[in-house]
Amino acid sequence: MEMKALIGLLLLVGCHGVSSVIHSLKFFHTASSGVSNFPEFVYVVMLDEVQIYYYDSNSQKLEVKQSWMDQLTRDEPDYLERETRTLQRTQQSFKANIENLKKRFNQTGGVHSYQWMYGCEWGDENGTTDGYDQYGYDGEDFLALDLKTWTWTSSRPEADSTKLIWDQDRAELEDLKNYLTKGCVGWLKKLLAYGKSALQRTERPEVSLLQRRPSSPVVCHATGFYPYRVVVFWRRDGEELYEHVDHGEVLPNPDGTFQVSVDLDLASVPREDWRRYECVVRLKGIEDILTRLDPALIRTNWGKTGPGRGGGRNT
């Protein structure tokens, strides 16, 4: 679906321990104007980066995207209808907000978007929690909640007036605090229980080395893995490399698994030294997957890379 344009999944780098699992529940609202062939309002809910709900202004109906979520509708038969009515009201509110913001920014026509994302995280081993609530306009940050001070931070001068009003509404801030620290986490745990068998599985990635041209970086590409919290990095002689390395984003595959690529620029490295390098893929529940930088294993679209033809794969 169009969710690839709405979701940015962050690659975990820096700390390569994957023993602790952080679960997340995220709610995305996106309103737009002037965009052809796209709904004026879209709502998506992600549980551990898996889409579980979808609604847009064309269908005006909340849809369940995972079969294991049917248990919720059995437990609460009126849930979808109740939430659909709420989203229909939210849709109208967002449409009005775009018009108000266009006036505030002295804009008339053109393409514009207004986004709201909130949610929470929970560590299933240590019980730590975190939350976030933030707004964006035309692809840039607008307002964000600081959970340390429980005040709003404006990212643009046009947001200052809203910040002042929202900071003074202490009752709303208290409700928000209660939701992000308790209510949202409670829902997260409940939904995790519904999808336990699907969400707590582990699928081993396939790892390939790729290179477009002889002068291009060598890409370590891991795909087909689950869950999405994978760590991929390059190292030389057993030491992790930080320079000349470009980490890509973790992206969803159509089958519900994920993929990621990490590039290594070898422009200044003699070919005879390539075997000192290896790609490491780390995923909880499996042993590290090590792929030696062997020219014979590199898949290319420009011909032979060494003693063998590209196409080899180390899994």
Q: Tell me, what CATH number does 150's domain have? A: 3.30.500.10
- What pLDDT, on the 0 to 100 scale, is given for residue 11? 33
**Per-residue pLDDT reduced to its tens digit, 159-196:** 999 999 999 999 999 999 999 999 999 999 999 999 98
Phi-psi domain of 244 (left: phi exceeds 0; alpha: psi -120 through 50; beta: other): left
Shared domain for 161 and 221, answered yes or no, is no
- Residue reference for tokens 């992790």: 240
Shared domain for 130 and 26, answered yes or no, is yes
- What pLDDT, on the 0 to 100 scale, is given for residue 211? 93
In a domain, 30, yes or no: yes
- What pLDDT, on the 0 to 100 scale, is given for residue 36? 87
Quote the domain boundaries for residue 70.
18-199
Alpha helices in 129-181 (DSSP H): 160-168, 170-178
In a domain, 103, yes or no: yes
In a domain, 313, yes or no: no
- The stretch 58-75 carries a mean pLDDT of 92
Shared domain for 137 and 39, answered yes or no, is yes
Q: Within a 13 Å sphere around the CA of 290, how many CA atoms are in the beta-carbon half? A: 11
**Per-residue pLDDT reduced to its tens digit, 109-168:** 899 999 999 999 998 778 889 999 999 999 999 999 999 999 999 999 999 999 999 999
Per the structure, the count of domains in the chain is: 2
Q: Within a 13 Å sphere around the CA of 266, how many CA atoms are in the beta-carbon half? A: 29
Listed residues 199, 231, 261: the one ending a domain? 199
- The stretch 63-68 carries a mean pLDDT of 93
In a domain, 101, yes or no: yes
Shared domain for 163 and 252, answered yes or no, is no
Shared domain for 184 and 232, answered yes or no, is no
Give the Cα separation of 214 and 303 in Å (integer). 10
Listed residues 178, 199, 220: the one ending a domain? 199
Shared domain for 168 and 69, answered yes or no, is yes
The DSSP symbol for 224 reads E
In a domain, 311, yes or no: no
**Per-residue pLDDT reduced to its tens digit, 7-55:** 333 333 334 544 567 899 999 999 999 998 899 999 999 999 899 999 9
> What integer best gives the mean pLDDT of the chain?
87
- What pLDDT, on the 0 to 100 scale, is given for residue 126? 80
CATH of the domain at 275: 2.60.40.10
Shared domain for 156 and 264, answered yes or no, is no
What 3-state class would DSSP assign to 210? strand
Shared domain for 44 and 186, answered yes or no, is yes
Query: What element of type H or E holds 134?
Result: strand 129-137
Its pTM surpasses 0.85: no
Check pLDDT > 70 for residue 105. Answer: yes
- Residue reference for tokens 């229909």: 88
In a domain, 8, yes or no: no
Q: Which two tokens stand for residue 63?
A: 């849809």
- What pLDDT, on the 0 to 100 scale, is given for residue 13? 35
Shared domain for 190 and 232, answered yes or no, is no
Listed residues 199, 232, 255: the one ending a domain? 199
In a domain, 315, yes or no: no
Q: Which two tokens stand for residue 196?
A: 């336990």
The closest alpha carbon to 43, from 83, 99, 76, belongs to 83
- What pLDDT, on the 0 to 100 scale, is given for residue 199? 87
Shared domain for 110 and 248, answered yes or no, is no
**Per-residue pLDDT reduced to its tens digit, 78-101:** 999 999 999 999 999 999 999 999
Who contacts 56 (Cβ-Cβ below 8 Å, separation ≥6)? Answer: 39, 41, 42, 43
In a domain, 306, yes or no: no
Whether the Cβ atoms of residue 155 and residue 135 lie closer than 8 Å to each other = no
- What pLDDT, on the 0 to 100 scale, is given for residue 233? 97
Give the Cα separation of 225 and 207 in Å (integer). 10
Query: Residue by residue, what is the 3-state secondary structure of 46-111?
Result: EECCEEEEEEECCCCCCEECCHHHHHHHHHCCCHHHHHHHHHHHHHHHHHHHHHHHHHHCCCCCCC
Give the Cα separation of 205 and 306 in Å (integer). 26
Tally of CB atoms within 10 A around 71: 14
- What pLDDT, on the 0 to 100 scale, is given for residue 215? 87
Shared domain for 154 and 262, answered yes or no, is no
Shared domain for 192 and 215, answered yes or no, is no
The closest alpha carbon to 114, from 148, 90, 130, 147, belongs to 90
- What pLDDT, on the 0 to 100 scale, is given for residue 314? 35
